[in-house]
Amino acid sequence: MACLDDPIRIGGSSTVFPMLSAAIHAYVRQAITRRLDLHETGTTDGFRCFCVGQPDTANDSRPINSKELKAYANNFWLI
């Protein structure tokens, strides 16, 4: 289980990476102490890792496909 000292891990799309990186820098400038780790992996690899619990969240430049959604559903509850 993650605690508040653990970084929030974000991975995914190289298309979205520059915008999300800028947003994180703005977030940090607001004196927020929670660390955010952003990794540019590409949408497919980002979803693949997200579906097994790494990273905590994924950014993407396309919708999740049915194969990725099934992989996620096999590992986590869908709400």
CATH number of the domain enclosing 62: 3.40.190.10
Is 13 part of any domain?
yes
Say if 2 falls within a structural domain: no
| pLDDT reported for residue 47 | 86
Range of the domain at 25: 8-75
pLDDT digits over 14-58, tens only? Answer: 888 999 899 888 888 886 777 888 889 888 888 888 888 888 888
Domain contains 1: no
Angle (nearest 5°) at CA 47 between 23 and 62: 70
d(CA 2, CA 61): 27
Residue 68 has pLDDT above 60, yes or no: yes
In a domain, 45, yes or no: yes
The answer on pLDDT for 78 being more than 60 is: no
* Domain-embedded: residue 3: no
Instruction: Examine residue 30 and state whether it is found in any structural domain, yes or no.
Output: yes
Name the pTM for this structure.
0.68
Confidence grade of residue 1 (pLDDT, cut at 50, 70, 90) = low
How many domains are contained in the chain? Answer: 1
